[in-house]
Amino acid sequence: MNSSDAIVQLRGVSRYFGGVTALDNVNFSCKAGSIHGILGENGAGKSTLIKILSGVLGASEGQILNNGKQVSYRSTAEATADGIVCIFQELSLVPDLTVAENIFIDQPPRRMGMIDNRKQRQMAVELLARIKCEDVDPDAHIRELSLSRRQMIEIAKALAKNPRVLILDEATSALTSNDVETVYDLMNELRADGVACIFISHRMKEVDALCDRLSVFRNGQHIQSFDKGGLNETEIVQLMIGREITAQYPPKRSTPIGETTLSVSSLRWENSLKGVDLQVNAGEIVGLGGLDGQGHKELLLGLFGALRGMTGEITFQGGTYKPSSPAQSKRQGLALVPEDRKTEGLMLEMSIGDNILLPNYKSVSQAGVINGRLANEAIAKAIELLQIKVGSADDPVETLSGGNQQKVVIAKWLMLNPDIILLNDPTRGIDVGTKQEIYRLMRDLVEAGKSVLLYSTDYAELIGCCDRVCVMYDGRIVSELEGDTLTEEAIVAASLNIHKDDPA
Ligand SMILES: Nc1ncnc2c1ncn2[C@@H]1O[C@H](COP(=O)(O)OP(=O)(O)OP(=O)(O)O)[C@@H](O)[C@H]1O
């Protein structure tokens, strides 16, 4: 790219955090009227790059140019005033404010010095229509909305600022597939209007299809930029991980399945579970497929004792099981990796090590006192197991990159060595190399006689990893697929509750 085309440009930018080099002498530029994808493993420096561009962080060295003018933003407000708006991985919405109040929180429309609520509401309705979220009430409180809907409100909030450069940092990873399509359409519209979109995502295929230009980062360095189609997927992944890639999914179960670990019949809870029947055996990875909001989340939470008032029959390890609290479920040998790891899975201000140990204190204690050596060994093992990129295990977990925070959540539950692990979309936001590690860990667990129940929004992952997939629709399991019947087409059809024999 001719550097004069660039709307934003970084020249020789480095950023250090104590001893960690998050960005190392980076040169990068992006054009107006284009979609620029940024790819890299967890901890590669992607978020640091966009935090610098959008005024959250300063650079330790180097220059930033916006429209040819050197800039140094001290806040996101300054970057926004200069046309650069970012949608971050962490949701920035205030749960107790309404949708409309959140969208216009930075610049509410005013009338005679007062916030003009009527106008604000009207503008929110227009923006909600633009992002195809007409079902969302502008007066609803954010805490009433699903994660996917909250993420869409973040997008509306960014659009309200009329960006010239819009940065999306993993902003689509929590969305339903319909919402993802809407966001892609929006990005195409913005590109046609001359906006530069910078798009960070671990969904490789989509980045490849959507973006005009791609840049790969590794270990804080800008490795290469190229135009769409310039490299194939294998070449891109190799650039990202800096080594040859191996088969993405480990081989499936070769040994016969064991005894039934978990058996569920007629499980009901409010409007979400309408009679779920399910069996998970020792030695198998069972997938849960289907569209968002069909009861998967409630099923996993219910089995883990986090829902009140669930009815139905459950047996676990041969005995009657009545889930009553997460603590009791954990004691009985269940573990859950939740959906929203930031709020449900981590104590952000505590250290990485303490977060890993949190559910594991018993196993590293003797006579009720923590054994420092055992604790350190357990932490080191977890970090090694999931290749968590840390400076020191004593650093607060919030200093880790988003993907590395997720690995901490998965590690701490795996360390418990549960009889069954319930996983809610565990590889969302995780890079390709680590995904492979997680698949291998799941397989190792079941080879050792344990069980895995995996909800995933990624059909390829369900097909690649699972021995059997149960598809949920409207609070029930409507289809069970395995062997030759386990295909993407079959999962999609079952997700829509379409049966092969149905008339067209
Ligand atoms: N506030 C901080 N304090 C210390 N280290 C940090 C801080 N922020 C980022 N880092 C480190 O900088 C490196 C780059 O992190 P960054 O968040 O930019 O990665 P990323 O490519 O966005 O990863 P992910 O895909 O996991 O979100 C990581 O090693 C991270 O631990």
Model confidence pLDDT, tens digit, residues 267-293: 999 999 999 999 999 999 999 998 878
Give dist(CA 115, CA 103) in Å, integer: 13
User: What is the predicted pLDDT for the residue at 335?
Assistant: 93
User: What is the predicted pLDDT for the residue at 244?
Assistant: 65
Same domain, yes or no, for 340 and 481? yes
Nearest CA to ligand 1 atom 19: 43
How far is the centre of ligand 1, averaged over its atoms, from the C-alpha of 311 (Å)? 44
Same domain, yes or no, for 264 and 221? no
Other beta carbons less than 10 A from residue 503's beta carbon: 3
How far is the centre of ligand 1, averaged over its atoms, from the C-alpha of 90 (Å)? 13
Same domain, yes or no, for 123 and 206? yes
Task: Average the pLDDT over 156-167 and give the result.
Answer: 95
Q: How confident is the model at residue 339 (pLDDT cuts 50, 70, 90)?
A: confident
Answer for the pair 42, 430: CB distance below 8 angstroms, yes or no.
yes
Q: Which atom of ligand 1 is nearest to the CA of 49?
A: 18
How far is the centre of ligand 1, averaged over its atoms, from the C-alpha of 398 (Å)? 9
Measure the CA angle with vertex 211, ends 210 and 213; round to 5°.
Answer: 160
User: What is the predicted pLDDT for the residue at 139?
Assistant: 96
**Is residue 3 over pLDDT 80?**
no
How far is the centre of ligand 1, averaged over its atoms, from the C-alpha of 400 (Å)? 5
Element (H, E) at 240: helix 233-241
Other beta carbons less than 10 A from residue 72's beta carbon: 11
Q: Which atom of ligand 1 is nearest to the CA of 389?
A: 29
How far is the centre of ligand 1, averaged over its atoms, from the C-alpha of 218 (Å)? 12
Nearest CA to ligand 1 atom 24: 42
Q: Give me the domain span that covers residue 79.
A: 3-241
Residue 207 lies in a domain: yes
Q: How deeply is 279 buried, as exposed, middle or buried, from its count of CB atoms within 10 A (0-12, 13-18, 19+)?
A: middle
Task: Average the pLDDT over 170-186 and give the result.
Answer: 83
Task: Output the domain CATH number for residue 98.
Answer: 3.40.50.300
Same domain, yes or no, for 160 and 277? no
Answer for the pair 191, 34: CB distance below 8 angstroms, yes or no.
yes
Answer for the pair 329, 323: CB distance below 8 angstroms, yes or no.
yes
Q: Which atom of ligand 1 is nearest to the CA of 44?
A: 21
Same domain, yes or no, for 191 and 318? no
Same domain, yes or no, for 197 and 303? no
Answer for the pair 379, 355: CB distance below 8 angstroms, yes or no.
no
Same domain, yes or no, for 13 and 85? yes
Which residue among 173, 208, 241 closes a domain?
241
**Is residue 326 over pLDDT 60?**
yes
**Is residue 104 over pLDDT 90?**
yes
**Is residue 102 over pLDDT 60?**
yes
Nearest CA to ligand 1 atom 17: 401
Greatest mean pLDDT among 210-214, 233-237, 253-257 = 210-214
Same domain, yes or no, for 325 and 374? yes
Model confidence pLDDT, tens digit, residues 14-69: 999 877 889 999 999 999 999 999 998 878 999 999 999 999 999 999 999 999 99
* Residues with a CB atom less than 6 Å from ligand 1: 17, 20, 22, 40, 42-48, 389, 399-404
Same domain, yes or no, for 229 and 314? no
What interface predicted TM-score (ipTM) does this complex get? 0.97
User: What is the predicted pLDDT for the residue at 501?
Assistant: 54
Backbone angles phi, psi at 326, to 5 degrees: -55, -35
How far is the centre of ligand 1, averaged over its atoms, from the C-alpha of 394 (Å)? 16
Residue 248 lies in a domain: no
Same domain, yes or no, for 339 and 220? no
Greatest mean pLDDT among 84-98, 384-398, 449-463 = 449-463
Greatest mean pLDDT among 175-184, 217-226, 389-398 = 217-226
User: What is the predicted pLDDT for the residue at 504?
Assistant: 46
How far is the centre of ligand 1, averaged over its atoms, from the C-alpha of 30 (Å)? 22
- CA-CA distances (angstroms) from residue 163 to 81, 87, 128, 181? 9, 11, 17, 20
Q: What is the mean pLDDT of the chain?
A: 89
Give the chain's domain count. Answer: 2
Give the chain's end-to-end CA distance (angstroms, integer): 50
Which residue among 181, 213, 241 closes a domain?
241
Same domain, yes or no, for 197 and 58? yes
**Half-sphere exposure of 242 toward its Cβ, with a 13 Å CA cutoff?**
10
**Is residue 170 over pLDDT 60?**
yes
Nearest CA to ligand 1 atom 2: 399
Give dist(CA 180, CA 187) in Å, integer: 11
Write the DSSP assignment of 2-37 as a string of letters.
-GGGEEEEEEEEEEEETTEEEEEEEEEEEETT-EEE
Strand arrangement of the beta sheet that strand 35-40 belongs to: 84-87, 165-169, 196-200, 35-40, 213-218, 221-227
Residue 254 lies in a domain: no
